[in-house]
Chain A
């Protein structure tokens, strides 16, 4: 302190003492890069604190604004992408660095007397850091954070005795709500960082009480090192490398945008963040009443194992080679963590539906091959595993052919499982014809013969590894199911008592089936599929109609209309006769009803006709098409246009709701007879009048169609776009996901940064250059120092 001003301060504050305490430390055995992890953790804390405070200038902890405020920061604030990215990657780095630091301290035996307290503060720090990452995720109020918090608080609720109180205390009530967000916000921004700060200070002070533990080798201990400047410079290099990595990650791997939180959307598959995957996977082993042992007991046990280490390893030996038991224990612990993290990452709780291919040892004879195809299509593999793929609800059938079961037994099992086991949950397959069951039995009889087929993976409930946070579900699922044998019979029986002709029977059968959920007749019914009121005048022969009912995919491979194989031939014929008899136009409520039935419908050309349009899986109560506005009178965009969704999640929703009219990836020009265009507008590429390279404008434009629906110009268009938003078929959040997808099909990134400050890639290069200079300077200093 040479200057007078400096002296003035140091006379009034203990500046000199503080500097001495913090910088003048002798390191037994010399400074080392191994000792950098602790400082790196401190650095991570500082990065989180600073970027966290900076985000507070923009973030709003209110349910209706949280997601938007984060997106605003990321897209419209200069370097917002950097601040948010550093915070996101910084949190991951923090967990990794803490892990590395613990490992280093463990190997050096720095937990032994007299440093036990320093070590014991450690697990408390770990817990606080993990808690911070857990509550922080919810703040963005996106799908990822919302569901993680939903499941996490439910898990807390399973704690014995205090569980239900704990859950509603964390949530601020029974449901995930504004109060939940507010509480998590206070925890994340104030309580936990405060706690962390106090623990860090205690940890540092306890550490300084005895200093660095140093090498275990007596020879090496003779050399003394200095904290300042040598260790400090090494720490500086280490943290600057970490900083460069964080900047790089922020620039090239932005934090995921999973779309706004949506309670209704069932296509999102929640999965914990990577640091919790090991626990997620491990507690699956604790079933039924043992579950809370897994969710509460296991973390508690882990915590105790860590924190009590200095008390069950009391030997003073620090050389790792002379502590084989402890080292083996530590290695086993790490191996267990890594294994379960990987298993957790790969696991997929949803059983695979028809998707994964059946692995067969050898080509099958034709009958058995047909049976194998049926086995796929009928969804048997959801419950039964065959050759490594499938569910585990029912027994593994990979060796069914070697079990000595007669063909008759197998047939009986497929048709009526309850006759063998009254309490089975296997549903009866009333839908299959006699020859189809025979083929399936033939197929089953081949399983297990002709050598084993090695399954590709150990877990039975495994599907291909997911990409990214939003786990894709297998093939689209839809809400409408096939009728059970029982309900079908009573309705049909009643119908038959009254009616005598096929048309009458078909007319009575129709309302008992899912058809009216999507197709309207006489103004009553759904609007997802074409109006069938004038089916008879469309020129479809009966054979076409029966084929359409049984196997719509044969006419239009992209349709999501389900095939109704459960119906008998007679029933299908009756339905077809009924439909063919319908000659009136659509009901009086719908537009275009004043026109006489269309006479100019083209005869179906089986090679190009794509068949009837498909069905929305999440059907709201069907409403007549009069609710859709005429095209050209589109109203304002809705809230969905302002929210940034996730394109791959949007793709899943697209497959469920849009694909059968707009085609896969929006490409196919699906016919729409009766409209002026003759086809459904393509989305990829979309009409240039609707396209905009500005994501917000583009989203707003297409949002109007999705919210309010659209009736294409034409005399009597077969397909009409439903008002997905107005009729609550899709939530605003789901619409925003689909919009992100459609934009991505057209090469526009909905989550693009609009005001970057400096392009991320350029900024990364600049950072690398600046840090490179720093390292060069330090390098010269070192060479100079060493040269003395």
Chain B
């Protein structure tokens, strides 16, 4: 093998691990922050006292949120169905199909998502449409008549309910 050829081969052989070595911090900087999960906490949503029984009510609430370097109060909404003074079901407003926000249609007595027509009954079960699973419930507790909810996001478009943030 001539010297020229040897040097050519050497450059080729060394450049691959070199690229990998230089690429690793670059890729890591793009991927690392993706998996940082905020520890979910219970947040006060509001008083249950004046809520009617057995019917979905949309409740808005504010929650201190960290979005990378932005610390602010984000506004979220949840669907709340009060069963009694001590029990309520809370649904995430995110449609499990592809993430649009669905609405309650009293005429039909169903939740309907405008994006692709998923329909859910009052207890969250899929009545029609492409949603792969029923509505996601959020953990909640009631203290002194106030509702506290743990705001979580779940993977959409899959059959299993999996928290992602």
Contacts and interface: CB of A to CB of B under 8 A. Distances in A.
Interface of A: 63-64, 147, 150-151, 154-155, 157-158, 163-164, 168-169, 172-175, 177-179, 263-267, 269-270, 284, 287-288, 291, 349-351, 353-354, 378-379, 382-383, 392-393, 425, 427, 461, 471, 473, 477-484, 487, 491, 511-517, 524-526, 562, 617-622, 728-729, 731
B155 A618 contact: no
Given A263-B76, A477-B105, A516 B52 contact: yes
B101 to A, nearest CB: 5
A513 B52 CA distance: 5
B39 to A, nearest CB: 14
Interface in B113-138: 113-117, 119, 121-122, 125, 127-128, 130, 132
B130 A287 contact: yes
B100 A477 contact: no
A267 B138 CA distance: 23
* Interface of chain B: mostly helix, strand, loop or mixed: loop
Contact of A169 (B34, B57, B112, B121): B34
Contact of B128 (A150, A157, A393, A621): A393
B20 to A, nearest CB: 19
Contacts of A265: 101
Contacts of B34: 168-169, 172-173
A517 B107 contact: no
Contacts of A512: 52-53
B100 A147 contact: yes
Given A178-B67, A478-B106, 18 more contacts: A151-B100, A168-B34, A172-B68, A173-B36, A179-B67, A263-B76, A264-B75, A284-B116, A392-B128, A477-B103, A477-B104, A477-B107, A480-B52, A511-B52, A517-B51, A517-B52, A617-B58, A622-B50
Determine which residue in A350, A471, A729 has the highest number of CB atoms from chain B within 10 A of its CB, and name it: A350
B67 A729 contact: no
Contacts, number: 207
B150 interface: no
Given A151-B115, A481-B55, A621-B50, A351 B100 contact: no
Contacts of A269: 114-115
Contact of B60 (A484, A618, A622): A618
B99 A150 contact: yes
B70 interface: yes
B108 A383 contact: yes
Given A175-B165, A179-B68, A425 B117 contact: no
A621 B48 contact: yes
B129 to A, nearest CB: 8
A177 B104 contact: no
A322 B133 CA distance: 53
B42 interface: no
A480 B103 CA distance: 11
A291 B58 CA distance: 30
B87 interface: no
Contacts of A473: 103, 114
A378 B107 contact: yes
B164 interface: yes
Contact of A484 (B48, B54, B76, B165): B54
Contact of B127 (A264, A393, A487, A622): A393
21 contacts: A151-B100, A164-B155, A173-B165, A179-B68, A266-B58, A270-B100, A349-B114, A350-B114, A350-B117, A382-B105, A480-B57, A481-B122, A483-B53, A487-B54, A512-B52, A516-B51, A619-B57, A621-B47, A621-B48, A621-B49, A622-B50
Contacts of B36: 173
Interface of B: 30-31, 33-37, 45-62, 67-70, 72, 75-77, 79, 93, 98-110, 112-117, 119, 121-122, 125, 127-128, 130, 132, 153, 155-158, 164-165
A287 B132 CA distance: 10
A270 B115 CA distance: 6
Contacts of B121: 425
A349 B52 contact: no
A151 B117 contact: no
Contacts of A479: 55-58, 79, 104
A179 B60 contact: no
A566 to B, nearest CB: 10
A125 B128 CA distance: 39
A478 B136 CA distance: 21
Contacts of B98: 150-151, 154-155
Contacts of A481: 55-56, 104, 106, 109, 122
A269 B101 CA distance: 9
A691 to B, nearest CB: 30
A266 B103 contact: yes
A473 B56 CA distance: 19
A619 B58 contact: yes
Given A264-B77, A382-B105, A525 B50 contact: yes
A168 B30 CA distance: 11
Nearest to B105: A477
B106 A480 contact: yes
Nearest to A287: B130
B90 to A, nearest CB: 13
B107 A618 contact: no
Contacts of B119: 351, 393
B117 A461 contact: yes
A63 B98 CA distance: 22
A349 B117 contact: yes
A174 B113 CA distance: 21
B107 A168 contact: no
A622 B46 CA distance: 9
Contact of B50 (A266, A482, A517): A517
Contact of B49 (A350, A393, A524): A524
A293 to B, nearest CB: 13
B146 to A, nearest CB: 9
